[in-house]
Structure 1
Amino acid sequence: MSSHHFVKEQQEPAVFILDAEHIHFDRISGLLEWVPTILVSEKALDQVLSWGIKIDVILASAAFQKENLQLLEEQYPVKFLTVENEDFLNEGLQYLLASKHEAVHLVGISHQSAFALQEKLDLMNLTLVDGNWKYYPVKSGKFKKWFAESSIHIHGKEGMPIEIKNSEGEILLPITYATMIEVPEGITEINAPGIFWIGEEIS
């Protein structure tokens, strides 16, 4: 029996696919390894169905549900979650919180949405998948990680000072809209007086 049969439900981060237009399946297949709860918005549904993965919840308008009732049989035991005014993100997060999920990967969401999500960070762990990039928050303002030689994106409040230390030395600079940093192979430390997000390219 494979080990994931012992994983307590809701322990694995859910996968919430809001938009699949610029997402290749191989970019997210690793997130599906442990059979997480999968939520999909109606606009991403055709693309996700073409991947042949099992969906748990479809977020959709009442009109969409009425026109696509066959999905309840075809994707059994999928369920619909009614969304008004296309507010898929908030409805999906509320559902996940109510069903005791502690973490979620948000797929097909702009990293620009990160700031609007900060109040949710006290309630659950979030990562964002935006095209070929994955973003995760540094809630404590202190970050330390080993990187291969690569570029990372630091996303935070405009003008917030950040301190970066690695084998190439130490630098202090203000965050701007797109603070891209070249990091050498090895440990990089980043410190700031508030929450910031790190973006890494998905290999």
Structure 2
Amino acid sequence: MSSHHFVKDQQEPAVFILDTAELSFETVSPLLEWVPTVLVGQECLENVLSWGIKVDLILATETFQKDNLHLLEEQYPVKFLTASPENTLDEGLQYLLATKHPATHLVGLSHLKHVDLGEKLELFDLTIMDAGWKYYPVKSGKFKKWFAESTIRILGKEGMPVEISNENGKLMLPLVYLTQLEVPEGITEIAASGVIWIGEEVK
């Protein structure tokens, strides 16, 4: 019995691959360790299949589905879900909600799209992986974490005031389109009046 036939109980965050332009298999591989549900948009399907990943759901137009019926056999038990390139993200998230997945990694989604995920954050735990960075939301407005000496990013509503405290002292600043910050080794605390996303470089 091959590993991908384990019963999936939705405990693992699903992996939803929307674009592979700036991704390598090595970046995605750690997310697949516990055989999560894998969704892929049609534009990057060929690349994902070349990595040897077992796919559970392909989001594709009706034309693409008709032209690629062989995938249903080759990738059994894969399923198709009808979606246009414009609504792939929404359709995929609706599917994950309907199948009761509590968490999802959005792989290859532009970090600029974080603004479109507002309502979804109440329903899911979401992370975004984009061009070598992993972003995760802080819904409570308060965040505290130990970092190695590194660069982090903070995304949020432009102009929102954010307070950052660590051994370098305390800093108040308004968020710009993408706020990049050098943090020292140790605990950094961040407080904001609304949802923010913290970005860390994926090594």
Bin for the TM-score computed over the shorter chain: over 0.9
CA distance in 1, matches of 2:162, 2:47: 39
Q: Supply the AA of the counterpart residue of 2:71.
A: L
| Change over 3 Å in CA distance of 1:68–1:7 after alignment to 2 | closer
Kindly indicate whether residue 201 of structure 2 is the aligned counterpart of residue 201 of structure 1: yes
* Residue of structure 2 in register with 1:143 after alignment: 143
* Residue of structure 2 in register with 1:164 after alignment: 164
* Residue of structure 2 in register with 1:107 after alignment: 107
RMSD: 1.4
| Change over 3 Å in CA distance of 1:49–1:170 after alignment to 2 | same
Contact 2:8 2:36 in 1 (8 A): no
Deviation of the 1:84 alpha carbon? 3.5
Deviation of the 1:85 alpha carbon? 5.7
CA distance in 2, matches of 1:142, 1:8: 33
Contact 1:61 1:86 in 2 (8 A): no
**1:163-202 alignment, distance < 5 Å:** 163-202=163-202
CA-to-aligned-CA distance 1:53-78 (integer Å, 9 cap, x gap): 10000000000000000000110110
Question: How many residue pairs are counted as aligned between the two chains?
Answer: 199
Kindly report structure 1 stretches of 4+ aligned residues shifted beyond 6 Å. Answer: 5-8
* Residue of structure 1 in register with 2:42 after alignment: 42
Contact 2:40 2:58 in 1 (8 A): yes
Deviation of the 1:22 alpha carbon? 1.0
* Residue of structure 2 in register with 1:64 after alignment: 64
Deviation of the 1:7 alpha carbon? 8.6
Structure 2 length-normalised TM: 0.95
| Change over 3 Å in CA distance of 1:132–1:85 after alignment to 2 | closer
Unpaired runs of 5+ in structure 1?
none
Q: Supply the AA of the counterpart residue of 2:81.
A: L
Contact 1:163 1:171 in 2 (8 A): yes
Contact 2:164 2:190 in 1 (8 A): yes
* Residue of structure 2 in register with 1:14 after alignment: 14
Identical columns (%): 66
Structure 1 length-normalised TM: 0.95
Kindly indicate whether residue 124 of structure 2 is the aligned counterpart of residue 124 of structure 1: yes
Q: Supply the AA of the counterpart residue of 2:67.
A: E
Contact 2:165 2:189 in 1 (8 A): yes
Contact 2:57 2:79 in 1 (8 A): yes
Where 1:154 maps in the other structure, the secondary structure is strand
CA-to-aligned-CA distance 1:12-32 (integer Å, 9 cap, x gap): 000000011111111111100
CA distance in 2, matches of 1:178, 1:86: 24
